[in-house]
Amino acid sequence: MDDVTVDAVLEALRRLPPTVRKTPLLPSSTLSRISGGEVLLKAENLQHTGSFKIRGASNKIGALREQGAVAGVISASAGNHAQGLAVAARAHGIPATIVMPRAAAIAKVEATRDYGAEVVLHGDSYEQAYAEATRLAAERKLTIIPPYDDHQIIAGQGTVAVEIASELRDAGVILVPVGGGGLAAGVGVAIKAYMPQARVIGVQVEAAPGLRASLDAGARTAVTTQPTIADGVAVAAPGEITFPILQRVLDDVVIVGEDDVAQAMVLLLERSKLVVEGAGALGAAALMTGKVDVAGKKTVVILSGGNVDINMLARVVEHGLMQAGRYYSLTVGLEDKPGQLAVLSKLLSDVGANVMSVSHQRFGIGLPVGRVQVALLLEVRNRAHAQEVDAALASHGFARGGEGMPQFVPASWNEEVRSGE
């Protein structure tokens, strides 16, 4: 196979086992209001194993079975591909071996084992895990299943777009996350066949803009990736097979930042009740930041996965709320005597701010004996509400503190400094 065609995508759809779900297309009134378009979410985060990856793996194994007996399959992965391949292999009754870096998340390791795969922990990086997978493949006569740079894998991922087209033929924009490019390539091929009027826009994170760099250079170009919460797309360059397809089927590629992704994850969780991993939230981030003009257009955002570690999710939510202006941290200077904290608490309560945490700091803060600094984390509605908090403090005799002081202090403290006391 020299290229991926829509016929190959339809053949992949025929091969998908019942374990692969047809995921819903969900309207999002919040993203529609923000973007000015009619936004629908293709919820691949609700897919079996929590990711679209099971589609490509199922098609690849199905094609191999049609060609003859398969002793077993193997791959290297630390995430979604591992789980998708494990389930796809089990559905076809084929043993699967997954080599994962020793530092892979315990939850992902155990999930892959629970899906029936043999997990081999090896190396400190994906590259070392892949080298071991290649060695084991030769030793055990196993077939390597690549994560994205393979014709059948690409065709399998394209079944996402066939499902979209079966429900919606008048879409104007399709937003798809891009790492190595398997999903974007397959989706682009199918969308251009069924909805040639639709613009297919790839979205990358600024920590791993390999495709954007390659398109700008006119050739595959590897970038140095940085740590990112969108680790599912942290790939240095598009694949040798995916790149020419992406050049043909994508209308544009836009870049979003880390904070954009965090805020998109929070919005999807809070407003759409969907747990979406960083890579899966790229399209939503592009809409929230206005990177793509979809005003007046039906727009599909592909949420490619939902496999996010619960501890990471908690940190992302806190960070996203802070960046969105929903958390407000500040320090206030008070006289160190009874009742002062109660006065401050009532002031904050009256303005509608919720105190998330509070701590007294008496030592190491540069204030004289008899005065304390109170560090507060407040939950507020938005940045305008945070400004209301500032105004309430000002109306109750607090002023911005000078150098070395808390952010807000009784106005008399500043007078003391000016008078040299």
Could you identify the residue written with the tokens 């202090």? 409
Task: Confirm if 147 and 53 have CB atoms less than 8 A apart.
Answer: yes
Among 28, 42, 53, 298, which one carries the catalytic annotation?
A: 53
- Rounded to an integer, the average pLDDT of 304-321 is 87
> Token digits for 364?
């190491």
For residues 225 and 52, the model is more confident at 52
Could you identify the residue written with the tokens 């503190």? 401
Do the domains 72-141 and 6-52+151-321 match in fold? Answer: yes
Query: What is the assigned CATH class of domain 6-52+151-321?
Result: alpha beta
Task: Confirm if 52 and 307 have CB atoms less than 8 A apart.
Answer: no
What is the β-pairing status of strands 371-379 and 354-361? Answer: antiparallel
Task: Confirm if 52 and 161 have CB atoms less than 8 A apart.
Answer: no
Of 329, 330, 333, which Cα lies nearest the Cα of 366? 333
Going by the DSSP 8-state scheme, the letter that residue 50 receives in this structure is G
Residue 304 annotated to the active site: yes
Ranges of beta strands (E only) in 45-162 are 73-76, 96-100, 118-121, 143-144
Mean pLDDT computed over every residue of the chain: 93
pLDDT, tens digit, 9 for 90 and up, residues 361-389: 887 677 888 899 999 999 999 999 999 99
Residue 53 annotated to the active site: yes
Superfamily of segment(s) 326-419: ACT domain (3.30.70.260)
pLDDT at 356: 92
Q: Where are the domains of the chain?
A: 6-52+151-321, 72-141, 326-419
Phi, psi of 98 (to 5 degrees): -120, 125
Residue 238, pLDDT above cutoff 90: yes
Percent of the chain at pLDDT > 90 equals 79
pLDDT, tens digit, 9 for 90 and up, residues 15-29: 999 999 999 999 999
pLDDT, tens digit, 9 for 90 and up, residues 61-89: 999 999 987 889 999 987 899 999 999 99
Going by the DSSP 8-state scheme, the letter that residue 305 receives in this structure is B
For residues 114 and 369, the model is more confident at 114
For residues 266 and 321, the model is more confident at 266
**72-141: CATH number:** 3.40.50.1100
pLDDT, tens digit, 9 for 90 and up, residues 138-197: 999 999 999 999 999 999 999 999 999 999 999 999 999 999 999 999 999 999 999 999
pLDDT at 419: 60
339: left (phi over 0), alpha (psi -120 to 50) or beta: left
Residue 217, pLDDT above cutoff 90: yes
Among 58, 75, 272, 304, which one carries the catalytic annotation?
A: 304
Model pTM score: 0.85
Helix axes 53-67, 6-15, angle to 10 degrees: 90
Residue 36, pLDDT above cutoff 60: yes
- Rounded to an integer, the average pLDDT of 308-319 is 85
